């Protein structure tokens, strides 16, 4: 990864010098810059006597340099500033954020105190070479192999949670990715996320093709301590879309603590002529829990320790969502997650208002409940108000 950053720097610098010498070539036509800045206030309500407010300034910067029609360089940095009661109550926040799991530490804590934490991380930094039949990417990048909305057992490299609504770009991995296009709807793909040894690495191959207007994909991988085989399918039944995604993990060496794991998700989606979107999904994790653990920290499992092998802690989890536009400027969404066995319910409504071009506001809630001894108990409420400007 250090080598890639050096190449990126030299490529940008070399191109800039050439552009200065060539007066007819405009630098701004080849290098693009974009991003956003957001301010979000959050309030966590445990009870009427316990309300914790916090603030977040979230900035993203994107740089794209097209050296020629084949070679490009992409660099993106995520900057966040935390301050407020929540930050003050978590003295370990800086250390928690400063955790870059890539081959090169591209995370920086510019300021760390009880009142203010400033964190930056490069989550994209890669070179892309494209030809008519193939494409090569090397560096920190997003590799998305999933087909479903809520859960992606095929997404070996970049598993994520929909609950992390303020990070749509998702994290990147230090990897080499090669795609070969067999035809318009068919391709072969190889990706490597190297580690210290093969048991700390991912080596994977993916084959995609279309048959009778159905999209299929098959994968095989060395996934850390396991071998993984998976498949995905996306098609239509009448006017509704259906997607299926499954990966089976088997240990390379059988030990007392090792076990075979099946992770499978299926979803149905439908859009009306008026633009209302419905999605309903089910996730099965053979290694998940089917009993109530009564843990106060269970909500953290929605966001932490997520992998393709363990997308949710429960054996069966349900998801549903409905979204649509009230007006061209107002969009609303209502989502629910239900963890069967753990008996935990998350309700997540949101509404977004486009104030003007490139400026919008959002109000989102997260309401968490559990069911212990046949009694529904509120675990807490999160309220998030966000203002975002895109440039």
DSSP category for residue 310 = B
Let me know: does 201 contact 222? Beta carbons within 8 Å.
yes
Helices (H), the chain: 2-21, 85-88, 93-97
Could you please report the per-residue DSSP string of 253-300? S--TT---EEEEEEEEEEE-TTS-EEEEEEEEETTSB-S----TTGGG
Unique residue bearing structure tokens 């309220």: 383
- pLDDT attached to residue 378: 86
* Residue 258 CB burial class (10 angstroms; 0-12, 13-18, ≥19): middle
Unique residue bearing structure tokens 């210290």: 196
| Dist. CA 279–CA 243, nearest whole Å | 11
- pLDDT attached to residue 15: 52
Unique residue bearing structure tokens 């003295």: 91
- Residue (of 135, 131, 139, 129) closest to 104 by Cα position: 139
DSSP category for residue 252 = S
Determine the Cα angle at 95 with ends 91 and 101, to 5°: 155
Greatest pairwise CA separation for the chain in angstroms:
76
CA of residue 39 relative to chain centroid, distance: 20
Burial letters 139-164, b for 16+ CB under 10 A, else e: bbbbbebbbbbbbbbbbbbbbbbbee
Assign residue 212 a region (left: φ > 0; alpha: ψ between -120 and 50; beta: otherwise).
Answer: left
On average, the pLDDT of the chain sits at 90
Let me know: does 37 contact 59? Beta carbons within 8 Å.
yes
Let me know: does 79 contact 61? Beta carbons within 8 Å.
yes
Other C-beta atoms within 10 Å of 358: how many? 11
Other C-beta atoms within 10 Å of 28: how many? 8
**Regions of the chain where pLDDT drops below 70:** 1-28, 48, 293-304
């Amino acid at each position: 990864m250090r080598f890639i950053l050096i190449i990126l720097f030299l490529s940008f610098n070399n191109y800039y010098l050439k552009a200065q010498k060539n007066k007819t070539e405009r630098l701004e036509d080849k290098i693009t810059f974009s991003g956003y800045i957001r301010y979000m206030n959050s309030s966590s309500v445990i009870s009427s006597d316990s309300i914790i407010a916090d603030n977040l300034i979230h900035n993203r910067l994107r740089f794209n340099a097209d050296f020629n029609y084949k070679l490009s360089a992409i660099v993106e940095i995520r900057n966040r500033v935390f301050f407020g009661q929540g930050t003050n109550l978590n003295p370990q926040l800086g250390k928690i954020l400063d955790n870059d799991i890539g081959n090169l530490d591209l995370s920086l804590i510019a300021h760390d105190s009880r009142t203010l934490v400033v964190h930056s991380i490069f989550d994209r930094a890669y070179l892309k070479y494209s030809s008519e039949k193939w494409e090569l990417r090397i560096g920190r990048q997003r590799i998305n192999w999933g087909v479903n909305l809520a859960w992606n057992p095929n997404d070996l490299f970049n598993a994520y949670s929909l609950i992390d609504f303020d990070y749509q770009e998702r994290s990147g991995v230090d990897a080499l990715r090669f795609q070969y296009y067999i035809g318009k709807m068919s391709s072969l793909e190889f990706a490597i996320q190297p580690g210290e040894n093969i048991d700390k690495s991912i080596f994977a191959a993916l084959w995609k093709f279309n048959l009778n207007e159905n999209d299929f994909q098959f994968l095989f991988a060395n996934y850390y301590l396991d071998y993984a085989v998976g498949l995905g399918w996306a098609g239509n039944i009448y006017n509704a879309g259906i997607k299926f995604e499954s990966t089976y993990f088997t240990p390379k060496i059988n030990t007392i603590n090792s076990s075979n794991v099946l992770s499978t998700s299926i979803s149905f989606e439908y859009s009306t002529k008026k633009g209302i979107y419905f999605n309903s999904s089910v996730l099965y994790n053979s290694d998940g829990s089917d009993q109530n653990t009564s843990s106060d920290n269970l909500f953290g499992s929605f966001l932490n320790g997520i992998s393709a092998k363990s997308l949710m802690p429960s054996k069966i989890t349900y998801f549903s969502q409905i979204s649509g536009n009230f007006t061209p400027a107002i969009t609303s969404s209502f989502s629910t997650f239900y963890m069967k066995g753990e008996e935990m319910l998350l309700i997540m409504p949101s509404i977004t208002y486009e104030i003007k071009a490139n400026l919008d506001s959002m109000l989102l809630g997260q309401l968490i409940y559990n069911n212990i001894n046949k009694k529904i108990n509120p675990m807490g409420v999160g309220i998030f108000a966000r203002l975002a400007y895109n440039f």
